[in-house]
Structure 1
Amino acid sequence: MISQLFPRTTWIAILMLAGVGMLMPVFNLSFPDGHPLHISSYVLGIVAKFMCYALAALALDLVWGYTDILSLGHGVFFALGAYAHGMYLMRAIGHDGVYQSDLPDFMVFLDWKTYPWYWAMTDSFLYCMALVILVPGILAFVFGFFAFRSRIKGVYFSIITQAMTYAFMLLFFRNDTGFGGNNGFTDFKRLLGFSLTAPATKAVLFLMTLCCLVSALVLCRWIVTSKLGRVLQGVRDSESRLMFIGYNPLWFKLFVWTLSAVLCSIAGALYVPQVGIINPSEMSPANSIEMVIWAAVGGRGTLLGPIIGAFTVNGLKSWFTAAFPDLWLYALGLLFIIVTLFMQQGILGVLAKLKKATEVA
């Protein structure tokens, strides 16, 4: 039963927050600027971006928190999903670009004469949505199969995932790959014929992101509370003992790793039309490390914690980069040190301890 996935109080909190989220675009569309209940498009865009980050953090927690697979390369899955959707958005610009060509502006500027073969059919929205699922999914499956079959784990696995995302970043920075090089994709005009700058389109994208985040949370919670989830936690706690009683950890790890990559890719696909740009910097190892920090700050192995962590850290980042732009990286490092030394269970762990102390008192 879906009601058994979370305690009753947790369900009430989730539904209340989801309700508030659903009202935000309504207030944006229903009330004019200056009205006390009006929510600006800027705030709506910031919250939507944070929800995409939260979905990526949730995907990472599924593998790190429940199977102890620490990935420092989830940024590549996020970016690949964004690029797959971005290819459709670039084709949807049509002749409205600067050069009014059949080709995207960056291809005209770089003297491309025709689309490369891997751009075929990218004018189809459904095809590009299939790419959002298949490209990161196949990459994760192949990468994970050889890594897990070779029994690579721990810090060694983290290092090779970081090397993977760095290699993809260098590849996408090249102008001859057909993905815009350093500038990536930008200047999107429309999605499925609807203007991306229209308030109604932004509202629909916001609600789609919210629905995907809540659905992914329920799916992940269903997995970790099922028999499959207990096996995954067995992989985390004692993989050798799990093998001794007859389980092959390879396929369980491969399943959760691939699912995590696909969820992260979906987050990237939702991110790109709302932010309006995707470039290779999203694949930088630093971005993948930030995802780990979101999960750690919120509470690893809790699913809800990484969502809270993503909102908390990115909220602090938005404030710090505006108020103290030179100090954000120092603040981020200090935050991670504090969590590592004094808050190993993250924000949710601290709240649980406070609740327990209150009950005892």
Structure 2
Amino acid sequence: VFFGLGGYAMAMHLKLEAAGPGNVPDFMVLYGDGTMPGFWEPFRSGPFTIFAILALPAAVATVIGWAIFKRRVKGAYFAILTQAMAVVFATLLVATIKETGGFNGLNQFTQFFGYNLYDPVNKQMVYSITVGLLLVCLLIVWQLYRSRFGELLVATRDAEERVRFLGHDPANIKLVAFVVAAMMASVGGAMFAPIAGIISPSDVDATASIFLIAGVALGGRALFLGPALGALTVGYGRTALSEAFPNQWTYFLGALFVVVILLLPRGVGDLPRLVRTTLDRRTSA
């Protein structure tokens, strides 16, 4: 959901850039009466778009997170609820074809904040910005992990009742983490739109959400970079396998997930530790 909020916020700005001053996106003429909804107009502004990419998911995550965590929803129920939210969001996008492009989504972006996206140099610039934002997000997570809040977050994950017994409210701790994660997901979605050239309901539905979760599971939590590496692996694997095996690639990718979960339940990031443990045992023997 938050990935989609950032992606669509950026895509709305890019579509308005492509349309030109005073004009409306092409799909509004094709599917509607040629008038633009009022909520689109602020996205003509680049600064407002950047603000919306950060503020909108933060606000939505605060409301949803407060409702979920204060009611102590967790585990399988939390997973089901978040997947249901993705389905609802994707369905809403499909139904609002005149406002969001419907099933086809938003595409045909020609500019990125004034830079021509058909220029290879500018495309490289967008990739560089994305890498830079990824490093910034990793740095923020690293600082949070080393802080007192990070210790509370790990403690809440491992022993929530003990944290509550010590006088801390686990719901507030989870809420802060949820909001920060939502903002980072939104930034990822915002950069996905100009790189992929399209953002559609299929990029934000339950299937897309599952692939993101699969990346975290594949990378594991044993290493700080585990989830990021897992997400990159899943993304590259989807592209490579779908090109090599157009009809069977999902089976190969699914088999990879099953093997990793069975043999490396803590993810690929735990592989170095397992290798060291095995070598130590052989040395001791």
CA contact 2:28–2:98 (8 Å) conserved in 1: no
Please name the residue that 2:258 is paired with.
Answer: 337
Question: Which whole-Å CA distance do the structure 2 matches of 1:164 and 1:301 have between them?
Answer: 29
SS in 2 for 1:102: coil
Q: CA deviation at 1:95?
A: 4.8
Please name the residue that 1:240 is paired with.
Answer: 161
Deviates more, 1:339-348 or 1:111-120: 111-120
- Count of aligned residue pairs for this structure pair: 282
Please name the residue that 2:16 is paired with.
Answer: 91
Please name the residue that 1:327 is paired with.
Answer: 248
Question: Which whole-Å CA distance do the structure 2 matches of 1:347 and 1:124 have between them?
Answer: 42
Post-superposition CA distance 1:46-80 (Å, at most 9, x none):
xxxxxxxxxxxxxxxxxxxxxxxxxxxxxx11111
CA contact 1:224–1:230 (8 Å) conserved in 2: yes
Residue among 57, 76, 93 paired with 1:136 = 57
Please name the residue that 1:77 is paired with.
Answer: 2
Question: Which whole-Å CA distance do the structure 2 matches of 1:280 and 1:198 have between them?
Answer: 27
Question: Which whole-Å CA distance do the structure 2 matches of 1:148 and 1:175 have between them?
Answer: 30
SS in 1 for 2:104: coil
Identity level (%) = 33
Question: Aligned AA for 1:198?
Answer: D
Matched, 1:282 2:207: no
Question: Which whole-Å CA distance do the structure 1 matches of 2:146 and 2:202 have between them?
Answer: 36
Q: CA deviation at 1:307?
A: 1.7
Name stretches of at least 5 consecutive residues in structure 1 with no aligned partner. 1-75
Question: Aligned AA for 1:88?
Answer: H
Question: Which whole-Å CA distance do the structure 1 matches of 2:214 and 2:121 have between them?
Answer: 34
Post-superposition CA distance 1:241-260 (Å, at most 9, x none):
11111001111110000100
Q: CA deviation at 1:168?
A: 0.6
Matched, 1:311 2:236: no
SS in 2 for 1:120: helix
Question: Which whole-Å CA distance do the structure 2 matches of 1:292 and 1:186 have between them?
Answer: 26
Residue among 149, 153, 157 paired with 2:78 = 157
Question: Which whole-Å CA distance do the structure 2 matches of 1:321 and 1:311 have between them?
Answer: 15
Name stretches of at least 5 consecutive residues in structure 2 with no aligned partner. none
CA contact 1:171–1:177 (8 Å) conserved in 2: no
1:44-83 equivalences under 5 Å are 76-83=1-8
Q: CA deviation at 1:115?
A: 1.5
Cα distance, 1:213–1:359 mapped onto 2, change above 3 Å: farther
Question: Which whole-Å CA distance do the structure 2 matches of 1:302 and 1:169 have between them?
Answer: 32
Please name the residue that 1:148 is paired with.
Answer: 69
1:289-304 equivalences under 5 Å are 289-300=210-221, 302-304=223-225
TM-score under structure 2 length normalisation:
0.94
Question: Aligned AA for 1:82?
Answer: G
Question: Aligned AA for 1:202?
Answer: K
Question: Which whole-Å CA distance do the structure 2 matches of 1:328 and 1:267 have between them?
Answer: 25
SS in 2 for 1:182: helix
CA contact 1:78–1:267 (8 Å) conserved in 2: yes
Q: CA deviation at 1:222?
A: 1.2
Please name the residue that 2:145 is paired with.
Answer: 224
Question: Which whole-Å CA distance do the structure 2 matches of 1:130 and 1:177 have between them?
Answer: 25
SS in 1 for 2:153: helix
Deviates more, 1:293-302 or 1:167-176: 293-302
Please name the residue that 2:89 is paired with.
Answer: 168
CA contact 1:87–1:119 (8 Å) conserved in 2: yes
Residue among 102, 106, 112 paired with 1:181 = 102
Question: Which whole-Å CA distance do the structure 2 matches of 1:144 and 1:187 have between them?
Answer: 34
Question: Which whole-Å CA distance do the structure 1 matches of 2:30 and 2:96 have between them?
Answer: 11
Q: CA deviation at 1:277?
A: 0.5
1:250-265 equivalences under 5 Å are 250-265=171-186
SS in 1 for 2:103: coil
Question: Which whole-Å CA distance do the structure 1 matches of 2:237 and 2:38 have between them?
Answer: 43
SS in 2 for 1:197: coil
